[in-house]
Chains A and B, each alone.
Chain A
């Protein structure tokens, strides 16, 4: 081995580590270590102020016997089913339209992106006014009396609507960047061959944008499984629809910070991570079937 080379190489390596250190340290301190602590806490009873007592699997046993927990798991999965497919479809639709030759394209892009800029708390407050059964705009317009956020059968759908509305802009911008990478020559060639707009969409646009679509889907799925702030703001603890809307992370919050049982709260967090892990594994396995990485 050349001594001089190895010195230069090791110097470069050191600098490499130095440069990524802020990110790595941040990740270790803010993500990895708390995650290990959470796993540990899930086997403990929280006595108060950071003191824990090991109790083995009790938290998990209690959790799996708790009807509210299963209800929350069901609510969360239902929320994913309600938001991800519809949300992604609408985002793609918006992205395709924003990519077309329309007037005020910049204006439309800004408008669609706006919900992303607003604070989720403010967004939810406005939607609560819109949804208000007695005085809300929505019921006034349609002359109905639907209890959008207090009817146990409707509340989760209302939450999903707000979630989709908030996320469309961001997802559409991501997809738009994917769409803009598609070379125009494909469409020209297709037109010459006599393919219509719809045929072009399914044969060119969809396969070419599929890598971006895949990333967007993974992100949206994770965000939906972790939904908390929206439901927390939308549905208060005395709302009759609470148990039909409560997501896993909402339940985690109430266990950990309202009841102060951080041990059982941690068990819910670990379960949620597990769910996200399984869903992501399935997605990566499924991507082979439909995601196209050849340009």
Chain B
């Protein structure tokens, strides 16, 4: 009996040893993991990694993709147990939570030996802002930047005899064209659905309102007059015959409806343009993009605005391979690393002056989308709205927004949204 037990114990110990040995690098190279959430960008990220490992043969980088929802659950658990991937994408929604808690490595001085002003020279304030913690230090290497554009169906515009949208368009042109297209073709006009980044945020800033006050970035502005008016205008768009209601959008997203030829216009993030071209080959050539329509009577500003977000590459403060990872990140943020990313079509590089490298993949298609619109719009961008407490009030405010679409009094709902957001300011 005892012999058997000993044998089993020995076998177990051997198995354990073997499994731990598997984790170490048998080939003497440094193995790094790189976690992302967008399967569409896998090849692009791989290309950037390959360029680095070609220069540094002693490093191997493995790109891993996890779906968006799982990504954050996993990353948080990994942060708790100090088992984070060596490199990972960070999103503006989450960076403050991670950075302010000391989970992310401070990368502010990562380029000091190259050029102490590297970040401010090559990246916009918005890109740096999206990669910074509340303390103003930089916790991520800016990866890309995006903005929101108006996508329209050329065939439906032709059928209705309406001129294509251009930079002179205002909200009035948007609704006029919607009505005309609907009358002529029976297809929906502008599809306005319950969304922040691709929806009412744009209208709020065009009108001259704000979600978080631009000066302190602390106080919410849901009851600010311009904000209220813009949200009301946006929600009421669904009262038109040419716009489906929220019940429709809960089942069929505007993008799906548009690409299935059910509607003529919607707002789309620049990051989805190439996937839409590639995934819907039958639609290629039938649609194009235009700048977001401007507010005709803004309370302040020129009526133009489009929300711009950007991801960044981050690493754990307590990472095991921190020095090597910093070198990899230095490359990711360099001109070469950013150019490869752009040319792969993954996203518009955050690196200033390299924006149009992103056109490369579009040029390979049968129809060249007017991507210049995306680059030009960077003159009117508003930084993606975020602060440290938004993470906590976001779901409750979103619930309130659902109530607005269900017909609750919009002034009362906005007042409640304001109160919810305010309640987190006082406790902080």
Contact = CB atoms under 8 A, between A and B. Distances in A.
B251 A132 contact: yes
Q: Which of A131, A134, A261 has the most chain B CB atoms inside 10 A of its CB? A: A134
Contact of B80 (A50, A239, A242, A260): A50
Contact of A133 (B248, B396, B401, B406): B248
A135 interface: yes
Given A149-B250, A236-B250, A259-B396, 20 more contacts: A11-B1, A49-B79, A49-B80, A49-B101, A128-B251, A132-B251, A132-B252, A134-B251, A134-B252, A238-B195, A238-B246, A238-B249, A238-B250, A238-B402, A240-B250, A240-B402, A241-B250, A243-B403, A259-B391, A260-B97
A240 B406 contact: yes
24 contacts: A11-B1, A48-B101, A49-B79, A128-B251, A131-B251, A134-B252, A135-B252, A149-B250, A150-B248, A150-B250, A151-B247, A152-B406, A236-B250, A237-B402, A238-B195, A239-B247, A240-B246, A240-B402, A243-B399, A243-B402, A258-B395, A259-B391, A259-B394, A261-B392
Contacts of B72: 257
Contacts of B1: 11, 15
Interface string A92-110: 0000000000000000000
Q: Which of A48, A133, A147, A242 has the most chain B CB atoms inside 10 A of its CB? A: A48
Interface of A: 11, 15, 48-50, 68, 128, 131-135, 147, 149-152, 235-243, 254-255, 257-261
Nearest to B256: A135
Nearest to B406: A240
Which secondary structure dominates where chain B touches chain A? helix
Contacts of A254: 395
A48 B79 CA distance: 10
Nearest to A242: B402
Q: Which of A135, A240, A258, A261 has the most chain B CB atoms inside 10 A of its CB? A: A240
A167 B211 CA distance: 45
Contact of B247 (A48, A147, A261): A147
A151 B410 CA distance: 20
A261 B427 CA distance: 15
Instruction: Classify chain B: how many residues form its interface, as a range.
Output: 20 to 34
Interface of B: 1, 72-73, 76, 79-80, 97, 101, 103, 193-195, 246-252, 391-392, 394-396, 398-399, 401-403, 405-406
Contacts of A15: 1
Contact of B251 (A11, A150, A255): A150
Contacts of B405: 238, 240
A152 to B, nearest CB: 8
Contacts of A261: 392
Contacts of A48: 97, 101
A239 B395 contact: no
A49 B102 CA distance: 10
A133 B395 contact: no
B267 to A, nearest CB: 15
A23 B72 CA distance: 31
Contacts of B392: 259-261
A237 B398 contact: yes
A242 B193 contact: no
B152 to A, nearest CB: 21
Contact of A238 (B76, B194, B391): B194
Nearest to A260: B391
Contacts of A241: 250
B399 A242 contact: yes
A289 B401 CA distance: 49
B41 to A, nearest CB: 23
A3 B53 CA distance: 69
A236 B248 CA distance: 12
Contacts of A258: 394-395
B167 to A, nearest CB: 30
Contacts of A236: 250
A11 B1 CA distance: 9
Contacts of A149: 250-251
A130 to B, nearest CB: 11
Contact of B248 (A134, A243, A257): A134
Contacts of A260: 97, 391-392
Contacts of B247: 133, 147, 150-151, 239-240
A240 to B, nearest CB: 5
A238 B395 CA distance: 11
A243 B401 CA distance: 12
Nearest to B401: A238
B399 A68 contact: yes
A154 to B, nearest CB: 11
A259 B79 CA distance: 17
Contacts of B249: 238
Nearest to A11: B1
A147 B246 CA distance: 11
B105 to A, nearest CB: 15
B84 to A, nearest CB: 11
